[in-house]
Structure 1
Amino acid sequence: MVADAIRKQRDHADDKVPEHQPHTAQVQEIELKTYTYGQHLYDDMIEAIDQAKDFVYLASYMWKGDRVGQAIKDAVVRAADRGVLVCVVFDGFANFVVPREFKTFPEGIHVLRFPVLRTAVPIIDIRSTGRDHRKILVVDGRVGFVGGYNIGSLYADSWRDTHVRVTGAAVWELQNSFVDFWNRHRGARSRRPELPDSGTWRWNGSIHAARNEPSRMIYPVRGLYLEAIDRASQRIWITQGYFIPDREIKDGLLAAATRGVDVRVILPERSNHVLADVVAHSYFAELLEGGVRLFHYRDVMVHAKTMTVDGQWATIGTANIDRLSLQGNYEINLEIIDPDQAEVMEQIFRTDLERCTEVELDQWRERAWYRKGVERFLRPLQFML
């Protein structure tokens, strides 16, 4: 925690991400708009909320009380003033330091502050563990947003992240996730309304939401990654903010590289969590020796949670490749099987590579002895990350 605090003080506030325009792809009758610049995303989120007529469902792991956070809050307040049903979820732990007055909403807005502790013995009752790490916005069932972006000014132009807007039948995937979570955790005796829970009116094989739900002990996102890695025959391109693969994912990537698949991973040169960086580094030598190529994104934090395979498959969502995301928190990732969206993701990956430095095996082996020792000493802490 001390190291993280020192690192954040030394971060360069002037470092910005490139302002690339969103990419659009058509998947059957569904439109996907992929964002890599936060301010573009927030502008479209506010526009969608301002057009709401029936309901606004918004969940965000972190919601900062700054300029961007206030702009989103003002938008949902305006929607509620028009008579729109507004339901908001934010994680109590992640927003602990956010001012209490900012987390106070007008009476017309229904708020679920996901509690830090939901049982006296969370280690024993694993159904009551996990943070709500999702980032979802659904408006009127016609448009939905999901991805890695939290809400805050820092993320508007200084973090490299990925989010997607869905328009069409697949919005149900995001709406259903919000409704299920809300109805399960709203509290039977609370004044929060029970939301209508409907089945999908149209099945779609191209876009599917995988949802990790600790309260039901269901963790399909990990299986989504493993299945795609196992199927790969040409390339696996991954971008992750925190990359600490478990044994099965690590072995799957190494097996893919052995059979000739082009396996590449982009991750931050310095993330906002030094412990996660150190533990991630403990895997580098084995991955590099096995043919996996690693790239450090320079200057700014890359926080995306994406992967694309063989120009046919892609995922965008909230889950990192680490234990907390894959076997701990509430998460949601969209699985998209479509060459047009896969091409969008590959194009974004190629663009990101221009800001990256490849980690070379020979140089990595020559890093200082004390760094190797710290990595070896801290690696067992991966179960916490």
Structure 2
Amino acid sequence: MRFTRFFCLWIFIVIGSAVCGCATLPDVSEILEDVPAEGQPPEIVSAKGPLPQAQSKAIIKKIKRFSGVSDIVERQTLALQAVSGRPLVSGNKVTLLVDGPATYAAMLKAIDDAKHDINLETFIYEDDEIGRRFAEAFLKKKAEGVQVNIIYDSVGSKNTPPAFFQQLRGKGINVLEFNPVNPLLVPVGQSHLTQRDHRKVLVVDGSIAFTGGVNISHVYSGRPSGMSGEHERQEMKKEEAKEPWRDTHVRIEGPAVSEFQQLFLETWKDKKGPQLEEKDFFPQLKKQGNEFVQVVGSAPGEQNRITFVMFVAAFLNAQRSIHINTPYFVPDGQTVSALIDAAKRGLDVKIILPEVSDSKLTLSAGHYYYSTLLKAGVKLYERQHVMIHAKTCIVDGVWSTVGSTNMDLWSFLHNNEVNAIIIGSDFASEMETLFENDLKESKEVVIDEWRKRPLFPRIGEWFAHLFRHYL
């Protein structure tokens, strides 16, 4: 949710200027130059361990044959392995979850079935109907002897009363506030002003993982229920006046789950969370399906800005199509250039963007780039009747990603982010169907009409884009 950005923008504007001035993004074209055109295949790990090179090469060849494309499978995977060190993991089952109700139902079912441990990492955790439902589920499992660990972002959850989390702590749940806004609560030697934890991850028993764009908030669930009283009725009217939120999440079973578990525990340790009771956080995971998954986590201070490399490299490696859903579009120069280059190569480049947003400044800053992209042949669409919050991309009908990363400088430079990459035509086909459904509910931005918009919005777009490092 973008209203939290303004909290950072005005408090940290002076300090942030110095920070953003120093922070840079890597040259992705140089990274791709170091990727071998042929020869050594990407590292593929199965439930039984790393596969021999010959077997990995055969798998990549099979994927190429069925998809009809090559570079996006092999070179993209190799590039991400070079900057992240994370393998391509076989043997997973990936379930696509559309919008809040389906996501929450699947998450709560997994929590209810938990036997050993539950790890939740989220940008926003609200004290509302949804937040309380999850809290009740966590407390129930804690009473049954299940360890529950929660990481929430201090800025993302700034509207949630501290007493809400203190109540969970008081009943034995381990709760970690990521980079507290209050400097007195920050461990000595840790930076905290601009770095936020934007990840959305739930790992249950080390065997089921969820990730995507959905926070713990009632805005994803439509009309609130269970309200009474005049104040509550007024709040309901306010919520009904807002556009519902459209988002995408995934449920993953199989060996790739350990990648999410590792990211969670690394963050817990790095931010000096409470000592955790010894648990089998990494059980032996069996093959659950046929999907290949690569998990990429990015954090500030990493030289290669992994999720940024993921997107730009995918656009440069694409051969047929690039289909993007993104709610906050304030791209850097390399992203814009890669999209323009793809369109000029004759690729089908479509981007679904919001018509309405919870951040008018961010929406206006994104509009600044429309003319340049449209002129190059990139097709832009504005999703109607909802607040689009999905962060997804499908390339060449075989490479898909679902995660927390927005296509903006704040995500690329300052946030902890995580994305699941799924390689395979079957899952990509599901993603394409969802994309087509969004297209049907979208209005295409036509360049001739766009050029006729009034002067005042154009001035606003130019002004807004000056703040692109903070949006």
Q: Which residues of 2 match residues 218-229 of structure 1 at below 5 A?
A: 219-229=305-315
Structure 1 residue 384: Cα displacement: 0.9
Given residue 267 of structure 2, which amino acid in structure 1 is its aligned partner? F
Q: What is the aligned partner in structure 2 of residue 36 from structure 1?
A: 98
Structure 1 residue 238: Cα displacement: 0.2
Q: What is the aligned partner in structure 1 of residue 56 from structure 2?
A: none
Q: 5+ residue gaps in structure 1? A: 6-26
1:80-131 superposed Cα distances (whole Å, 9 cap, x missing partner) = 111111100101111111123322213311000113348799xx98787411
Q: Which residues of 2 match residues 92-111 of structure 1 at below 5 A?
A: 92-104=154-166, 105=168, 106-111=170-175
Structure 1 residue 286: Cα displacement: 0.3
Q: What is the aligned partner in structure 1 of residue 233 from structure 2?
A: none
Match of residue 132, structure 2, among 54, 70, 86: 70
1:170-229 superposed Cα distances (whole Å, 9 cap, x missing partner) = 111211111111111125xx4555877769989999211111122555520000111111
Q: Is the 8 A contact 1:128 1:215 kept in 2?
A: no
Match of residue 289, structure 1, among 370, 375, 378: 375
- Pair 1:253–1:199, CA change in 2 (3 A): farther
Q: 5+ residue gaps in structure 2? A: 7-88, 223-243
- Pair 1:125–1:175, CA change in 2 (3 A): closer
Q: Is the 8 A contact 2:327 2:353 kept in 1?
A: yes
Match of residue 237, structure 1, among 308, 320, 323: 323
Distance 2:281 2:144 in 1: 24
- Pair 1:212–1:287, CA change in 2 (3 A): same
- Partner of 1:374, secondary structure, is helix
Given residue 169 of structure 1, which amino acid in structure 2 is its aligned partner? P
Q: Does 1:260 align with 2:346?
A: yes
Structure 1 residue 316: Cα displacement: 0.4
Q: Which residues of 2 match residues 357-368 of structure 1 at below 5 A?
A: 357-368=443-454
CA RMSD of aligned residues (A): 2.7
TM-score (norm 2): 0.71
Given residue 335 of structure 1, which amino acid in structure 2 is its aligned partner? I
Q: Does 1:380 align with 2:443?
A: no
1:25-60 superposed Cα distances (whole Å, 9 cap, x missing partner) = xx9631111111211111111110111111000011
Q: Give the ranges of 4+ consecutive aligned residues of structure 1 lying more than 4 Å apart after TM superposition.
A: 117-121, 124-128, 190-205, 215-218
- Partner of 1:33, secondary structure, is strand
Distance 2:199 2:262 in 1: 13
Q: Bigger radius of gyration, 1 or 2?
A: 2
- Pair 1:245–1:196, CA change in 2 (3 A): farther
Given residue 79 of structure 1, which amino acid in structure 2 is its aligned partner? K
Q: Is the 8 A contact 1:179 1:197 kept in 2?
A: no
Q: What is the aligned partner in structure 2 of residue 133 from structure 1?
A: 198
- Partner of 1:316, secondary structure, is strand
| Matched positions, count | 359
- Partner of 1:255, secondary structure, is helix
Q: Is the 8 A contact 1:183 1:195 kept in 2?
A: no
Q: Is the 8 A contact 1:297 1:356 kept in 2?
A: yes
Q: Is the 8 A contact 1:297 1:355 kept in 2?
A: yes
The percent of aligned pairs where both chains have the same amino acid is: 35
Structure 1 residue 68: Cα displacement: 1.1
Distance 2:276 2:193 in 1: 20
Distance 1:119 1:194 in 2: 30
Match of residue 208, structure 2, among 143, 168, 174: 143
- Pair 1:381–1:125, CA change in 2 (3 A): farther
Given residue 250 of structure 2, which amino acid in structure 1 is its aligned partner? V
Distance 1:200 1:379 in 2: 48
Q: Is the 8 A contact 2:92 2:291 kept in 1?
A: no
Q: Looking at secondary structure, tell me which structure has more helix per residue.
A: 2
- Pair 1:67–1:91, CA change in 2 (3 A): same
- Partner of 1:214, secondary structure, is coil
Given residue 47 of structure 1, which amino acid in structure 2 is its aligned partner? K
